[in-house]
Amino acid sequence: MKKLIVSVWAIASLSAAHAQPNTLSLSQSGSGNNALATQQGRTNTGTVSVAGDNNYASFEQSGDYLSGGISIVGSRNNALVQADHYVNETTISQTGNDNMGITFSTFRSDHNQVRLTQAGDRNTGLAYSTDHSDDNQIGLTQTGSGNTGEAYSSYHSTHNLISISQTGDANTGTAYALSSDRNQISLSQTGDGNRGYATASSSDRNQISLAQSGDNNIGLISSNDGSYNRGSISQIGSNNDAQLSQVGSVNTASVMQEGNDNTLSDLERDPNVRYRIRYFGALQQGYGNSFSLTQAGDGNTLRFGQSGNNNTATVTQTSY
């Protein structure tokens, strides 16, 4: 099929002047297509739908109270959705192999919903909000094998909900907050060979949770240089590895493992540098910290350390 390039601009500046919303709809079917859609103004809606192989679709919205997204069915597609300003909803839905999707809200964009859904093999997904963006919902859902997902909020962004859900084999998920406070970070993985990383760096009052169900999973939660953070890891299955580190004050943490041959890694210090941790299983440094760890099954290994005042630790091991 002949290559088709489509570029659409919704003249929302006129709609803003007349207080009338615009609706944009672009549909493509075939191979080797390119699509570009841009909206500006208020209360606009837009949809880009592409069916075929080797497609590229980009959708940008600038304004308030906007909704729009890209839906692609096919292999080796690329999709990009960008939202600016306030109270916008952006989505990407991809079904097929070798897809890459990116959706995000830009600088000082608040109360936005950013969602990316991928079903298929070897997908890569990225969903995020940039600096000084508050009260956003950032979600990434992947179903299939060989997926890689990343979701985050950066620099002085607060009250964001950051979540990754992966179902399938050999998935890698990374969810984190960077210099951002009062965020909820969750990572859920179901399947074999998953690796989950959930972190908060230089951030306060964040809730971080990692849930894994399956074999050969590795879970890592880390909160560095922050206070009043809560971290939890839940693993059900065999051969899981859980690692948790907290540095700061008034942090709480819990780890639950159920199955055989689980390990809470090793806690060691670098012999060349005093007080530097080289590897950690569970580590807390600061004041008013608490920790709870439960293991059930055979062949479990635990390393745990606390440093500071007013700490509370509860550890339970059960072997069958």
Express each pLDDT in 127-175 by its tens digit.
Answer: 998 888 889 899 999 998 888 999 998 888 888 899 999 999 888 999 9
| Three-state DSSP class for residue 12 | helix
Residue 6 inside a domain? The answer is no
pLDDT digit string (tens) for 180-223? 888 899 999 998 888 999 988 888 888 999 998 988 888 888 88
Please give the pLDDT value at position 287.
59
Q: Give me the count of residues in the chain.
A: 320
Residue 5 inside a domain? The answer is no
**Interatomic CA distance for residues 115 and 68, integer angstroms:** 11
Residue 311 structural domain: 28-318
Residue 232 inside a domain? The answer is yes
Residue 55 inside a domain? The answer is yes
273 burial via Cβ count (<10 Å: 0-12, 13-18, 19+): exposed
171 closest CA partner among 208, 210, 222: 210
Q: Kindly state the average pLDDT of the residues 270-299.
A: 52
Print burial letters for 40-71: b (CB count within 10 Å at least 16), e (below 16).
bbbbbbbbbbbbbbbbbbbbbbbbbbbbbbbb
Residue 96 inside a domain? The answer is yes
Give me the sign of the Cα torsion angle 281, 147, 128, 257: negative
Q: How confident is the model at residue 316 (pLDDT cuts 50, 70, 90)?
A: low
Residue 20 inside a domain? The answer is no
At residue 48, does pLDDT exceed 90? yes
Secondary structure element (H or E) that encloses residue 14, with its range: helix 12-18
Are 241 and 260 in contact by the 8 Å Cβ rule? The answer is no
pLDDT digit string (tens) for 120-136? 888 899 999 888 888 98
Domain count for the chain? 1
Residue 199 inside a domain? The answer is yes
Residue 12 inside a domain? The answer is no
Q: What would the two tokens of residue 210 be? A: 């990692």
